[in-house]
Copies of this chain bind each other. A is one copy, B any other.
Amino acid sequence: MAIMSGAELKESFQRMKPEVYARGERAEDVTEHPFLKPAFEARARFHDFMRDPKYKEKVTSISNVVPGEKIPNFVRLYDSAEYLVERFVTGRWVRRFFPRSGGSADSVNAVWATTYDCEKKYGTEYHERFKEFLKYVHKNGLTCSITQTDVKGDRSKRPIEQSDPDMFVHKVETRKDGIVVRGAKAHQSSSIHCHEIICMPTRRMREDEKDYSVGFAIPTNTKGLIQICGRQPSDLRRLEGMEIDWGMPQFGGTEAMVILDDVFVPWDRVFLNGEWDFTTGMMETFANVHRVIYALKCNLGDFLIGAAAQVAEYNGAAKASHIRSKLVDMVILNETMYCCGLAAASRGVKTPSGVWHDDPVLSNVVKNNVTKNMYEIGRLAEDIAGGQITTQPSEKDWRNPKTRPYIEKYLKGVDGVPTEHRMRMFKLIEFFTYGQGSTYSRAEAMHGAGAPEMQKVFINRMYDFESLKRLARMACGIEKQEYF
């Protein structure tokens, strides 16, 4: 069916009726619940965009698995090194128009590669099943989300040691036609507006944790799959009917806890089933291809830089040397993240499965920089903007005829700029530093795709320290080498 329009996308969820809760109630129509609607709106607009003749070439492709089928790039296989780089270049261009309208290419490409490896070793049919699943996704224009992070319970204990065995998703029953799984996945960005959920282990399992070594995909309206939305900073402003104080009305996203309450998964949707020695590979492969994409947090940095530069101008401070210096520092921090992403992609390698993956060490370098740089970018934006981010009166005060004249008069900056514009710009900065957008510019920058320590653990394990130690030994004369 090619690519759904925005309206079709919303209708598809109205038909599916996934079981979603938000702010203490079931969201009967997920596309209309005020906590969820902005995410659906943003996503719907992106679907229209993918069909717009002016833009569609950049963001859609022809499927590798369904001949001739037009598909969104976000379910595309990474079939060349060039495309790895290109997705960052396009990603930066596109996200400016459609923030938070993400995708799932990371998971598709990670599962593609690891099911392939597993099939090679054990003769399982996981890769074939996944290919069929991907065809189905491509043919029907579906959106997918990956769920990985288990709720984990007591972090000092392994899955099998927890007092409640359900702290990590696991198989509780094997039936003739499939398996039954139980558990919960935390922090699922975008799962609310996805048709399918791909589920994989969150950590390395041991031999005695075979039941925890499961991977699969299911539709989000599967019986027993329950999603409970998390709340975001200043989320209630969505209910106020105002616009300025919202900050960036076009932007929206959701995170949910995805509960699997004895959910049945048919065999053709099972991609890992007890092969515990492949959990590391599946988990890490996804982690690495997912971490690299955080380089595109520079898109959010772009908003903060633009807003800080703009508000400085509105304030009459755009030429102050310390303001220029801080703006440039923001640019350097932001472009450094982008650079790391481009670099990891440019050093990508072809996996045995045929898809290309970014350099794994550099992918972790990307993410770790993001966990620091985004915070510093935000801090600088707050510094440049000034205290009005926090002390600006409510939009309702501005709309109140009694107080409006005072606000119009006293919150004016340079001549020629309406007070309203200045107020809007402050609220945009608030949005990305303390507001809903900070969910993406800070919280997700920190913990999405794994906390900072996870990147360091990976680098510590994978980095070739041995060759550098040998280099040092040669340099100081302990080992001899021809060209020293």
Tell me the nearest residue of chain B to A322, going by C-beta. B453
* Best-surrounded residue of A249, A261, A340, A344 (most CB of chain B within 10 A): A340
Q: Is the CB of A469 within 8 A of B232?
A: no
- A379 contacts partner chain B, Cβ-Cβ < 8 Å: yes
Q: What CA separation (Å) do A442 and B430 show in the bound complex?
A: 12
Q: Is the CB of B164 within 8 A of A412?
A: yes
Q: What CA separation (Å) do A424 and B474 show in the bound complex?
A: 10
Q: What CA separation (Å) do A411 and B444 show in the bound complex?
A: 19
Chain A 325-363, CB-CB to B under 8 Å as 1, else 0, gives: 101110110011011111110110000000000000110
Q: Is the CB of A346 within 8 A of B85?
A: yes
Residues in B whose Cβ lies below 8 Å from that of A89: 347
Which one, B249, B259, B448, contacts A406 given CB within 8 A?
B259
Known: A243-B477, A369-B332. A393 touches B164 (CB 8 A): no
Which one, B236, B389, B460, contacts A324 given CB within 8 A?
B460
Residues 392-412 of A contacting B (Cβ, < 8 Å): 392-397, 399-400, 402-403, 406-407, 409-412
A-B complex: 6 closest residue pairs judged by Cβ atoms: A24-B396, A306-B468, A339-B343, A230-B391, A306-B472, A154-B316
Which one, B99, B338, B379, contacts A375 given CB within 8 A?
B379
Which one, B157, B313, B342, B472, contacts A307 given CB within 8 A?
B472
Residues in B whose Cβ lies below 8 Å from that of A439: 390
Q: How large is the interface on A (under 10, 10 to 19, 20 to 34, 35 or more residues)?
A: 35 or more
Tell me the nearest residue of chain B to A232, going by C-beta. B390
- A5 contacts partner chain B, Cβ-Cβ < 8 Å: no
Known: A151-B411, A361-B335, A456-B325. A228 touches B383 (CB 8 A): no
Residues in B whose Cβ lies below 8 Å from that of A344: 339
Residues in B whose Cβ lies below 8 Å from that of A430: 233
- A267 contacts partner chain B, Cβ-Cβ < 8 Å: no
User: What's the nearest-Cβ distance from chain B to residue A443, in Å?
Assistant: 4
Known: A186-B391, A346-B346, A469-B310. A315 touches B443 (CB 8 A): no
User: What's the nearest-Cβ distance from chain B to residue A151, in Å?
Assistant: 5
Chain A 71-101, CB-CB to B under 8 Å as 1, else 0, gives: 0000000000000010001000000111100
Q: Is the CB of A336 within 8 A of B346?
A: no
User: What's the nearest-Cβ distance from chain B to residue A370, in Å?
Assistant: 11
Residues 281-307 of A contacting B (Cβ, < 8 Å): 302-303, 305-307
- A187 contacts partner chain B, Cβ-Cβ < 8 Å: yes
Q: What CA separation (Å) do A245 and B232 show in the bound complex?
A: 11
Sampled A-B contacts (26; CB under 8 Å): A45-B483, A97-B484, A167-B410, A186-B388, A186-B391, A228-B403, A228-B406, A229-B393, A231-B394, A233-B390, A248-B475, A250-B475, A305-B465, A310-B469, A310-B472, A321-B321, A335-B361, A336-B336, A336-B369, A338-B343, A340-B340, A372-B379, A386-B447, A387-B446, A428-B476, A434-B438
Q: With A184-B406, A243-B477, A383-B446 given, can you name 10 additional A-B contacts, CB distance below 8 Å?
A: A24-B397, A24-B400, A153-B414, A234-B235, A303-B471, A305-B465, A339-B339, A386-B451, A389-B443, A425-B478
Residues in B whose Cβ lies below 8 Å from that of A99: 475
- A252 contacts partner chain B, Cβ-Cβ < 8 Å: no
Q: What CA separation (Å) do A317 and B454 show in the bound complex?
A: 14
Residues in B whose Cβ lies below 8 Å from that of A400: 21, 24-25
Q: Is the CB of B410 within 8 A of A184?
A: yes
- A452 contacts partner chain B, Cβ-Cβ < 8 Å: yes
Q: Is the CB of A339 within 8 A of B365?
A: yes
Which one, B369, B397, B415, contacts A228 given CB within 8 A?
B397
Q: What CA separation (Å) do A73 and B40 show in the bound complex?
A: 54
Q: Is the CB of A187 within 8 A of B391?
A: yes
Q: What CA separation (Å) do A40 and B444 show in the bound complex?
A: 35
Q: What CA separation (Å) do A239 and B411 show in the bound complex?
A: 27
Q: Is the CB of A153 within 8 A of B412?
A: yes
Chain A 415-445, CB-CB to B under 8 Å as 1, else 0, gives: 1000001001101101100110011001110
Q: What CA separation (Å) do A341 and B411 show in the bound complex?
A: 34
Q: What CA separation (Å) do A453 and B403 show in the bound complex?
A: 32
Q: Is the CB of A472 within 8 A of B303?
A: yes
Q: Is the CB of A415 within 8 A of B154?
A: yes
